[in-house]
Structure 1
Amino acid sequence: MTHPEQPFSGHTPPPAPAQFAAPSPVPAPAPNPAPNPFAAPSHVAAPYGPPAPFAPAAPAPAHVPVPTFDDGPRWPGDDGGVDVPAPAPAPVRQRRAGLPLGWVVLLVVVALVAGATGGVVSSRVFDDGRLAEAGLPVTVSTGAGDRAPESVAGIAAVVLPSVVSIEVVGPNGTSTGSGFVLRQDGYVLTNHHVVADATAAGATTVVLFGDGTEEPATIVGQTADYDIAVLKVERTGLVPLALGDSDLAVVGDPVIAVGAPLGLEGTVTTGIVSALNRPVSAGGADTDTAFINAIQTDAAINPGNSGGPLVNASGEVIGVNSAIAQPPGSFSGSSGSIGLGFAIPSNQARRTAEQLIETGAATYPIIGVLLDQRYAGEGVQVAADAQGGTAPVTPRGPADNAGIRSGDVILAIDGRPVTDPDELIVAIRAKTPGDTVVLRVRTGDDERDVRVVLDESSGS
């Protein structure tokens, strides 16, 4: 089906500027995986200094397993053990000449004093469990609870309990993504592509909360057009995140992304708003295309972050992390974050989520034209001919009523120049049906401003 404003395929359209940060299936870990590449190698130091003179030869070393001690992540069953030679027993030194009696008496006295002192220290340590009385300095930590509310740590402490991980088990395997609590009565917001397989026969969807508990979830509604989905779990008393006003965001604002990249729950990354109104058409050859008037950020976003919140310095959600850009020639999931992530503005997410909760479907605004993807001049051009049985300008549609005709060139919307069909599409879809936009239109050599009242598409 061809949607109005959808560029018709006079030729194969160029690749989408960004690809979904879609989660890849996460296989179960192998019982004996390869050693962790991030772990620091373990070394056994050789004894220092040469052996004593006339020391007997040490016996041949025995091989025993010695565990490594590193801070790297491990798969279950990876004990980190390696076989290394056991250190040779200490060499036997020749007995020295005896000390004078006076030295022996002095050493005995010192040993007795040291022993008595050690007894006092030991008593103080073990009687009440405190080291302070032994004269050792003590550092008093302020603790995470004393972080300023506006700090990253303070914001993360508030946001993390309301961020969830989502796991979908379907016929194609297991995939994971992120989401966040939308309402206290069990509604959760995420991306459509995170739960795209959840409607398949036999598929199951589970929401994992920050406290380690989990609940089965059902799909309330989803739309590929905006890449938004709403889930429902049978739990009340949840703490929702506040949806902020994304229209107030400006380039340079600090932001925090929270989610489960690559299945690592509760991950927090920081950055800024890198750009606004970035036209992103995200999807694949075998999936529906979402047109997003996106917030761009350099906060690290990877597959698995999809559906998680992008919050501002007040802890308010201003975006739903949805897509990432990838270098030309790379395939989906082949690279990590390159600092080009895209989020659905919260104002758009709010409108779409309300529709999904109320009706189970969502609509989007249209002007009722087909755009020519082959046009390479200034602005974007309305198709000159019908495509697939669809007229270039929908009869009695918004554009037709405003006097726009096939072959006209649209130069700007609400004063913002457009140079690519996707720019016009996402700018229109960021509005609401019934809104009025001003289009700068050129017919031949004549330019004029045209007021167009946006119509509503059918639900999806």
Structure 2
Amino acid sequence: MGHRRHADDRASDVRPHGAVAPEPASAAATTQAYPPISGSWASVPPAPPNHPATPLSAPEPSRRRGPGWGALVGATVAAALLAGTGGGIVGGYLADRGSGSSGAPVAAPSPGAGATTRPQGSIANIAASALPSVVTLRVEGADGAATGSGWVYDDAGHVVTNNHVVAGADPGEDITVVLSDGRQVKGKVVGRDASYDLAVVKVSGASLAALPVGRSADVVVGDQVIAVGAPLGLDSTVTSGIVSALDRPVTPGQQDDQSYINAIQTDAAINPGNSGGPLLDMRGQVIGVNSAIARVPGSSISGQSGNIGVGFAIPSDQVATTVQQLIADGKAEHPVIGVYLDSAYQGEGVRIADGGPNSSPAVNPGGPADKAGLKAGDVIVAFEGKPVSDDGELVVKIRARKVGDSVKLTVRRDGKERDVTMVLQGSE
């Protein structure tokens, strides 16, 4: 019997840009048209001027479907090797991790007295408006200190960041939030979700202006974008670029900390420390949360990894849904179809395993797949009419939807294909 994989698991080959995170494990490579990009979380502590920050290691690429354990298809797939690149691209989270720093707060550099007089819609004008709503997060934990970025979501003081930025914080401890004017205030995590790599921190003691949230569904390839954050601990850094691609399946992290992101790809420079910062459109609206970067395969796993023009952001439509759940309940709901996948399968499509862990069935009784008539050994070859060639890719596509959405899968059994529809079920 092939190895099983739970669809709520995540793979990793992309480095996050945020805070303290665990060392990643190697991720399975994929051979899809847009295979998931996987990698390790790269948390780096604030670096002194003219000195590189200490990077986290990224996982070595592995086989397309290395042995794994079964999983209910309710998670999105991890980032993996990109097909057609002659070796693929490996990356990881963009967190700044290290020993941390001490000293009096220092105000971020001014955008310039004339910034707000620049033409509306210019990068300078947008940056001047957005910078007061972008913060730097400093997290203390058992693994050391780390810095990441965040942005103000609402007038109640909720700040959005990546889960991997705050995951290493000591339970119950405050997080230091550095405002654009250099003031330091305290914040507490009110909710976080590893699967979507999102977290919400409630800030007290400061009145903050929220950034407007745009619709990532309206974004097209070629749109100009602006990334704001604290790369390598350098607060209030602004870079720009374009949307390079959409719907990239990216799965940084590992095991319990793996994320599944149907990402916006951008060439705007993002580096360790940018994690959690906003990706803005030319109207100054948040269209994504910067979360991971790619690294060239074969590069030193222990060496510094930085911008190579391939960064990934969580789409704002997903962010809005998840953040609202985190604020209300402290946790998020994940859409699933209720099956375990055979991660050792090497053929076309994605095969449902012969059984789940501990002798459980591969198809969850009463779940969406069961109601649609799917069985162990069936091969899922397409999702909403688009081919899927890796279990990770399928999970990412599912996670990009909402609980209650109706989806169509093309399934092969005994050499015959048929389309089935099902309503996605919720799972924590």
Task: Please report the TM-score for the alignment, with normalisation by the length of structure 1.
Answer: 0.71
Structure showing the higher strand proportion among its residues: 2
| 1:20 and 1:324 in contact (8 A); partners too | no
Which residue number corresponds to residue 175 of structure 2? Answer: 205
Instruction: Assess, with a 3 A threshold, how the Cα gap between structure 1 residues 241 and 365 changes in structure 2: closer, same or farther.
Output: same
Question: The residue matched to 1:307 in structure 2 has which SS?
Answer: coil
Q: Is residue 2:305 matched to residue 1:303?
A: no
Q: Is residue 2:251 matched to residue 1:281?
A: yes
Of 148, 152, 155, 2:119 maps to 148
Partner letter of residue 154 of structure 2?
Answer: R
Question: The residue matched to 1:165 in structure 2 has which SS?
Answer: strand
Which residue number corresponds to residue 66 of structure 2? Answer: none
Deviations 1:200-222 (A, max 9, x none): 47x44111111111211111011
Instruction: Assess, with a 3 A threshold, how the Cα gap between structure 1 residues 3 and 337 changes in structure 2: closer, same or farther.
Output: same
Q: Is residue 2:147 matched to residue 1:176?
A: yes
Quick one: distance in 1 between partners of 2:142 and 2:400? 34
Q: Is residue 2:376 matched to residue 1:406?
A: yes
| 2:140 and 2:170 in contact (8 A); partners too | no
Q: Aligned-pair distance for 1:8?
A: 11
Larger gyration radius, structure 1 or structure 2:
1
In structure 1, list runs of 5 or more residues that go unmatched.
39-74, 77-140
Of 429, 435, 438, 2:399 maps to 429
Deviations 1:245-289 (A, max 9, x none): 11111111111110000000011111111111111111046x521
Quick one: distance in 2 between partners of 1:411 and 1:352? 28
Q: Aligned-pair distance for 1:354?
A: 0.5
Which residue number corresponds to residue 384 of structure 1? Answer: 354
| 1:178 and 1:260 in contact (8 A); partners too | yes
Partner letter of residue 191 of structure 1?
Answer: N
Q: Aligned-pair distance for 1:142?
A: 9.8
| 2:335 and 2:425 in contact (8 A); partners too | yes
Quick one: distance in 2 between partners of 1:198 and 1:7? 22
Quick one: distance in 1 between partners of 2:10 and 2:42? 26
Instruction: Assess, with a 3 A threshold, how the Cα gap between structure 1 residues 347 and 232 changes in structure 2: closer, same or farther.
Output: same
| 2:41 and 2:252 in contact (8 A); partners too | no
Alignment of 1:303-322 (within 5 A): 303-322=272-291
Partner letter of residue 292 of structure 1?
Answer: I
Quick one: distance in 2 between partners of 1:332 and 1:13? 16
In structure 2, list runs of 5 or more residues that go unmatched.
12-25, 30-35, 53-100, 103-111
Worse-superposed segment, 208-217 or 231-240: 231-240
| 1:261 and 1:304 in contact (8 A); partners too | yes
Q: Aligned-pair distance for 1:416?
A: 1.9
Of 193, 202, 218, 2:188 maps to 218
Which has the bigger relative contact order, CA under 8 A and spacing at least 6? 2
Q: Is residue 2:311 matched to residue 1:347?
A: no
Q: Aligned-pair distance for 1:333?
A: 6.2
Partner letter of residue 164 of structure 2?
Answer: H
Which residue number corresponds to residue 7 of structure 2? Answer: 5
Which residue number corresponds to residue 195 of structure 1? Answer: 166
Q: Is residue 2:386 matched to residue 1:372?
A: no
Which residue number corresponds to residue 25 of structure 1? Answer: 45
Which residue number corresponds to residue 327 of structure 1? Answer: 296
Question: The residue matched to 1:384 in structure 2 has which SS?
Answer: coil
| 2:186 and 2:205 in contact (8 A); partners too | no
Of 137, 161, 183, 1:166 maps to 137
Question: The residue matched to 1:456 in structure 2 has which SS?
Answer: strand
Task: Please report the TM-score for the alignment, with normalisation by the length of structure 2.
Answer: 0.76
Q: Aligned-pair distance for 1:390?
A: 3.5
| 2:10 and 2:260 in contact (8 A); partners too | no
Which residue number corresponds to residue 92 of structure 1? Answer: none
Quick one: distance in 2 between partners of 1:211 and 1:364? 37
Deviations 1:282-310 (A, max 9, x none): 1046x521111111111111110000000
Worse-superposed segment, 414-423 or 219-228: 414-423
| 2:133 and 2:211 in contact (8 A); partners too | yes
Q: Aligned-pair distance for 1:412?
A: 1.3
Q: Is residue 2:28 matched to residue 1:14?
A: yes
Instruction: Assess, with a 3 A threshold, how the Cα gap between structure 1 residues 308 and 7 changes in structure 2: closer, same or farther.
Output: closer
Which residue number corresponds to residue 107 of structure 2? Answer: none
Partner letter of residue 404 of structure 2?
Answer: G
Q: Is residue 2:229 matched to residue 1:259?
A: yes
Instruction: Assess, with a 3 A threshold, how the Cα gap between structure 1 residues 242 and 441 changes in structure 2: closer, same or farther.
Output: same
Identity across matched positions, percent = 51
Question: The residue matched to 2:244 in structure 1 has which SS?
Answer: strand
Question: The residue matched to 1:18 in structure 2 has which SS?
Answer: strand
Q: Aligned-pair distance for 1:235?
A: 3.8
Question: The residue matched to 2:169 in structure 1 has which SS?
Answer: coil
Deviations 1:95-152 (A, max 9, x none): xxxxxxxxxxxxxxxxxxxxxxxxxxxxxxxxxxxxxxxxxxxxxx993332111111
Segments ≥4 residues shifted beyond 4 Å = 6-9
Deviations 1:286-345 (A, max 9, x none): x52111111111111111000000011111111000111112243266221111111111
Partner letter of residue 165 of structure 2?
Answer: V
| 2:381 and 2:389 in contact (8 A); partners too | yes
Which residue number corresponds to residue 104 of structure 1? Answer: none
Q: Aligned-pair distance for 1:7?
A: 6.7
Worse-superposed segment, 178-187 or 329-338: 329-338
Quick one: distance in 2 between partners of 1:335 and 1:302? 8
Q: Is residue 2:256 matched to residue 1:294?
A: no
Deviations 1:383-430 (A, max 9, x none): 123334432111111000001111111111112221111111011111
Quick one: distance in 1 between partners of 2:125 and 2:10? 49
Q: Is residue 2:424 matched to residue 1:454?
A: yes
User: Superposition RMSD on alpha carbons, in Å?
Assistant: 2.6
